[in-house]
Structure 1
Amino acid sequence: MIEINDGTPAGEGSARIPLIDASVHIFFGRNKDLRENFLREPFSSRGFPDYEMDWYGAPGGEYAKGTKGPNKEYPGSDVDIVARHLFADRGVDVAVLHPMTRGIMPDRHLGTALAAAHNEMMVTRWLDHPEFGERFRGTIRVVPDDIAGSLREIAKYKDHPRVVQIGIPLQSRELYGKPQFWPLWEAAVDAGLPVAVHIEMGNGIMQSPTPSGATRTYEQYLGFMSMNYLYHLMNMVAEGVFEKFDALKMVWADGAADMLTPFIWRMDCFGRPHLEQTPWAPKMPSDYLPGHTYFIQGSLDGPGDVDFAGEWLDFTGKDDMTMFGSSYPLWDMGEPTLPAAYSLEQREKICWRNAAGLYGIDVSRDIPTDLVAQ
C-alpha cells in the first residue's frame, strides 16, 4: 500500500486508494530457458549479452533481496513470487509488466528475435496465468532499428486484452523524433497503444549516458541517464511528431518527470521567437505535452518530502502526466511512499487515475469496489 511520508496510508480516513504499479520488470529465469524454449534457430545458438552486461552496476547489487526464484533463478522471473510481493506484501492492485530484453543489437534481426521471445514468455506465462493473469498488464517489446520486425510483433499481440503498450529501449542510435521511426509511431496509433521508453539492461549497443561522454560512477549514471528521456521528448516536439500523430502517447518509463519543467520552460523560451523554423510544429512546445506525455516516477524522483512538493508536481501539469512505478525487483524499489504535501487528488492521480486512464484499466471491474476511495 502506498503511504504518505508521515507513515499513514494514502487513503487514511476513507477507503484506501487503489494502486497501479506501472513499472514491474520481468526476466527469464535462466538463459537456457530463453534459448531452448523461446528462441529459434538461426538465433538460439547466437551470442548475446546477459542481463548484467551494462556499463554501470549498483555497488550493493542490482536487485532487492528475496526476489530470486526458488532455485536461484533470475529476480523477477517467478510469477508466484512476484505476485506475492506485489499483491500481498505491497498492496498493488494491477501491475504493468516490462520485459527486460537486450537493448539494441548490432544485428537488428537478432534483436527482434530476442524481443519476440520475451513477448511470448510474458503473454504465455504472465498475462495468461490462470491465477494472477487478470491483475497483470503487458508491454510488447520491439526494436526500433527493425521497423518490419516491430510491426510484426505489434500485429501479433495488439488485440490481446491485457497488452496495454509497446516498449522500446531508451538507448538508441538516433533521437526518436527522426523520420525513420515514424512508421513505428503510426503503428502504435493504429493499434491504440502508448509507447513506453525504458532504460534497457543487457545492452548491445549503447551511447554514452551524457552527450559529453561517459560518467565515472554508477551514482552519476543514475542521476544523468534519465535526462535522455527529455532529449528524445524535445526532439519529438521539434520534429513535429505529435502534430503529425495527434493520438500518439509516449511513456518515459524510468524517471525524469521532476526535470520536465525547467527543460520545457527553456524550450518555450528559446523556441517562441523561432517557430517559423519548425512550421510542422506550430504550437508552443509545452502545448504538445498534455495527452501525449507520461512519466513513471519511482522512489528516487522528485524534490522529496518537502513543503513545495505538491506545487512542483503541479507545475507544467506534471500531476496529470505522472504514474507510480516501483521498478520491481531493482534494489531501489523501496516502499511506495508519497510526499506529505501532495493533495488527495494528486495522490490519486499518481497511484491509479493517470495509469487507469492511459491503459484503459476499469477500476470498478479490475479492482474491488470497496478499495476505491470516494
Structure 2
Amino acid sequence: METIVTGKKRNEDFKNSDVSLIDCDVHPFLTSLDELVPYLDEAYHKQLNIGRFRNDLLKDQNNGGFEFPKGRYSNPGHVLRIDAFTPSGGVPGTDPKFLARDLFDRYNTTFGILNIGHGTMGAHHNVTLAAEYTRAANDWLYDSWVKSDPRYKMTMEVIPLDSQLSVKEIERIGKKPGIVGINLRVVNIPFGKRHFWPIYEIAEEYGLPILVHPDAENTSEYSASQAIGPASTYIEWHSTLPIIAMRQIPSLVFEGVFEKFPKLKFAFIEYGFAWLPHLMWRLDKNWKGLRQEVPWLKMPPSEYIRRNIRLGTQPIEEPYKPNHLLEMIQMVNAEEMLLFCSDYPHWDGDNLNRIFLRFPDELKRKIYFENALQTFRF
C-alpha cells in the first residue's frame, strides 16, 4: 500500500533541499478528445462525438452532435508560442517529454504545476456530461503527464455548477500524490456564496488550495461577463480579465469564507496583480464605515487577503519606471502573496530571466519558490 505523505512533512523535507523554482502555471493540451476514450464509458463516447462515433455528424446531418465549449474571442496572431511546437510538429503543450526539456531543463524548474490548457467543461450546461468529461480529463492528465516526470504536479478539475459532484471527485483522487490543488472555474455564482462551501470544506481538509484561472469567462456557458457585458474584441476581453478577480475577492472576504475556512488558500492566476493596492485600500475603507453589515469579520479585509489570497505574476504589469512595480508590492506588504507563473506555452508568457531584474534576492526567493511551497500541497 502506498504511503501518503502529508503536506506538512513534504514541506519540511523541501525546505532542507536544494530547490530553486516552482512554476505555478504550465498548460498541457489534448491533441484530440479521442485521448479520453480509455477513460470514458462508451455511452459518453457518442455524446462527446469521439472514438468510433466521431464521424456521425458527417453521416447524419440531422444529428446535432456535441461541440466543445468554445471561446468567443480569437487572438489575431496565435494564442500559443510558435517556438514551442514539438519536434514532430505537434501543438505546443502536447508532448510531456519535450515540454520538460524546453521549459524545466532550461530554467532548472523543480516543479511545474499543470493547469489544463485546452479548455474545460466545468461550466457546461449538461452537468452530468461535464462531470464525466472532468473525471476523464483528470485521469488523462495524471496518467499521461504526472506519471511521466516527477517534476510534474497538477491541479484537478471540478464541476462548479454542482458542488456535491465536485466533492465526490475530490474524494476520488484528491489525496493522490502529485495533485497539489483544485482548479475551480468561474461561473455566474460569486465564489463567496454557500453553493461552493462544500468544496471549500473538503479542500481545507485535504490541504488543497483553490486555483482560479481564465476559462469559462471566454465562453457563453454560464460565464460571468466582465462587469458590464461581453467585450467586442480579444484585446478588450484579455485586458479586462482582472475585473473577474477584483469581483471575486470581495465576495470571498465579505461572505465570510476565510473566517469559516481560515486555512483555505485561493490562487488567482493570469489576472495580474497591479490592481491589488486599490482593492485592499478600498475594502478596508468601506469596512470601517459599514462593518455592521458583516459582523462575522474579525479583522480588516486586507488582512484576510494577505493571509488567504495568492496571485500569479503573469501577465506581469510593466510600469514606465520599473521600480514602481516593486514599490507597489511593498506598499501593501504583498511579498508573500505572489507566485511565479510562466504560462507556458501561451503567447504572453513572462521570461524568468528578465521580469524580476530589479527585485531583491529575498523577494525573488519568495516568488520563485517559498510562496508556492506554502500554498500548494507538496
Indicate whether the TM-score tops 0.5: yes
Q: Which has the higher helix share?
A: 2
What is the CA–CA distance in structure 1 between the aligned matches of 2:83 and 2:130, rounded to whole Å?
A: 30
State the shift of 1:69 in Å.
Answer: 4.6
Structure 1 unaligned blocks of 5 or more = 1-15, 362-374
Distance change >3 Å, CA 173–CA 209, structure 1 → 2: closer
What is the CA–CA distance in structure 1 between the aligned matches of 2:124 and 2:215, rounded to whole Å?
A: 12
Structure 2 unaligned blocks of 5 or more = 1-17, 49-65
Select 1:250's aligned residue among 266, 269, 293. Answer: 266
What is the CA–CA distance in structure 2 between the aligned matches of 1:66 and 1:97, rounded to whole Å?
A: 20
1:107 lines up with 2:126 in the alignment: yes
What is the CA–CA distance in structure 2 between the aligned matches of 1:360 and 1:168, rounded to whole Å?
A: 16
Q: Structure 2 counterpart of 1:45, which letter?
A: K
> 2:180 is paired with a residue of what secondary structure?
strand
Distance change >3 Å, CA 168–CA 98, structure 1 → 2: same
State the shift of 1:204 in Å.
Answer: 5.6
1:185 lines up with 2:204 in the alignment: no
Select 1:278's aligned residue among 294, 304, 312. Answer: 294
Q: Structure 2 counterpart of 1:25, which letter?
A: H
State the shift of 1:46 in Å.
Answer: 1.9
Distance change >3 Å, CA 185–CA 159, structure 1 → 2: same
State the shift of 1:261 in Å.
Answer: 1.2
1:29 lines up with 2:31 in the alignment: yes
Q: Structure 1 counterpart of 2:128, which letter?
A: H
State the shift of 1:302 in Å.
Answer: 5.3
Q: Structure 2 counterpart of 1:123, which letter?
A: Y
Percent identity between the two aligned chains: 26
> What RMSD, in angstroms, separates the aligned Cα atoms of the two structures?
2.1
Partner of 1:355: 372
> 1:185 is paired with a residue of what secondary structure?
helix
Farther off after superposition, 97-106 or 246-255:
97-106
TM-score for the superposition, normalised by structure 1: 0.85
State the shift of 1:263 in Å.
Answer: 1.1
What is the CA–CA distance in structure 2 between the aligned matches of 1:144 and 1:330, rounded to whole Å?
A: 25
State the shift of 1:305 in Å.
Answer: 5.9
State the shift of 1:181 in Å.
Answer: 0.9
Q: Structure 1 counterpart of 2:112, which letter?
A: A
Farther off after superposition, 344-353 or 292-301:
292-301
Deviations along 1:19-51, one digit per CA (max 9) or x if unpaired, are: 2110001121112222x2223243222245447
Distance change >3 Å, CA 26–CA 236, structure 1 → 2: same
Larger relative contact order (Cα-Cα within 8 Å, sequence gap ≥ 6): 1
State the shift of 1:54 in Å.
Answer: 0.4
Distance change >3 Å, CA 344–CA 17, structure 1 → 2: farther
Partner of 1:200: 215
Equivalent residue pairs, number:
340
Q: Structure 1 counterpart of 2:213, which letter?
A: H
1:159 lines up with 2:175 in the alignment: yes
Paired residues of 1:49 and 1:102 also in contact (CA < 8 A): no
Segments ≥4 residues shifted beyond 6 Å: none
State the shift of 1:239 in Å.
Answer: 0.4
State the shift of 1:73 in Å.
Answer: 4.3
Deviations along 1:37-96, one digit per CA (max 9) or x if unpaired, are: 223243222245447x20112211110114345555443121112111112234322101
What is the CA–CA distance in structure 1 between the aligned matches of 2:151 and 2:262, rounded to whole Å?
A: 30
